[in-house]
Amino acid sequence: MSKLDLTRPFLPVRIAVMTVSDTRTLETDTSGTLLAERIVAAGHHLAARSIEPDDVDHITGCLKEWIADPEIDVIISTGGTGVTGRDVTPEAYEQVLEKRIEGFGELFRMLSYQKIGTSTIQSRALAGVARGTYLFALPGSSGAVKDGWDDILVWQLDSRHRPCNFVELMPRLREHLPASHD
């Protein structure tokens, strides 16, 4: 039920893409490349891209660096959301999130269920906000990236989406933070 109000302006956001993998490189990172291409095709800015090993400290360090960067509005990661011992992306996110967006993981799994059935239960996709930055953790498969971007994020990161979207909330995400004194 996604609907765009074309009388409203499109406001591009600055999105960083993190691939969590012990084995992928920029040349072999099909999911990260697919996501980056979709971000640019939608009219947004690819603000940064990184491949981080399946390690809580590496993932958390990159997240903290990007959250602190005023040139990054949104972080989307792909990979590390499963249930095996090396899947630690949700644990890294928990170290930085201030608020969870519970509905993201629920909606992702509902949409994924329509395509892969009960196998979607193995995904720990999640989202939240940290210091005014949106964070979304997607599974590492290209299919999961397509589901997360095409069915949810492309709409919620479009300022024209009605009845509401994440972009229109961006100016208010930092309301609880102390004012900076530059």
Report pLDDT digits (tens) over 57-101.
999 999 999 999 999 999 999 999 999 999 999 999 999 999 999
Angle at 57 between CA 100 and CA 128, to 5 degrees: 10
Dihedrals phi, psi of 172, to nearest 5 degrees = -100, 0
Q: Is residue 182 part of a domain?
A: no
Q: Does residue 35 sit in helix, strand or coil?
A: helix
Enter the pTM of the model.
0.94
Please report the pLDDT score of residue 70 as a whole number: 95
174-182's contacts with Cβ under 8 Å and 24+ in sequence apart are 174/131, 174/132, 177/131, 177/132
Domain tally for the chain? 1
CA 109 – CA 117 distance, rounded (Å)? 9
Please report the pLDDT score of residue 35 as a whole number: 98
Tokens linked to 53: 């090993």
Instruction: Give tens-digit pLDDT for 134-153.
Output: 999 999 999 999 999 999 99
Q: Is residue 175 part of a domain?
A: no
Q: Is residue 180 part of a domain?
A: no
Q: Is residue 4 part of a domain?
A: no
Q: Tell which residue, 38, 34, 42, has the closest CA to residue 161.
A: 42
Please report the pLDDT score of residue 182 as a whole number: 47
Q: Does residue 116 sit in helix, strand or coil?
A: helix
Pairing of strands 3-4, 161-162: antiparallel
Please report the pLDDT score of residue 136 as a whole number: 98
Q: Is residue 79 part of a domain?
A: yes
Q: Is residue 78 part of a domain?
A: yes
Taking the alpha carbons at both ends of the chain, their separation in whole angstroms is 43
Domain of 26 in residue numbering reads as 11-168
Instruction: Give tens-digit pLDDT for 104-124.
Output: 999 999 999 999 999 999 999
> CATH number of the domain that 44 lies in?
3.40.980.10
Q: Is residue 111 part of a domain?
A: yes
Q: Is residue 162 part of a domain?
A: yes
Strand intervals (E) in the chain: 3-4, 14-20, 45-52, 74-78, 99-100, 126-130, 133-138, 161-162
Please report the pLDDT score of residue 180 as a whole number: 60
Cβ neighbours of residue 44 closer than 8 Å, sequence gap 6 or more: 12, 13, 14, 15, 157
Per-residue pLDDT averaged across 30-57, rounded? 97
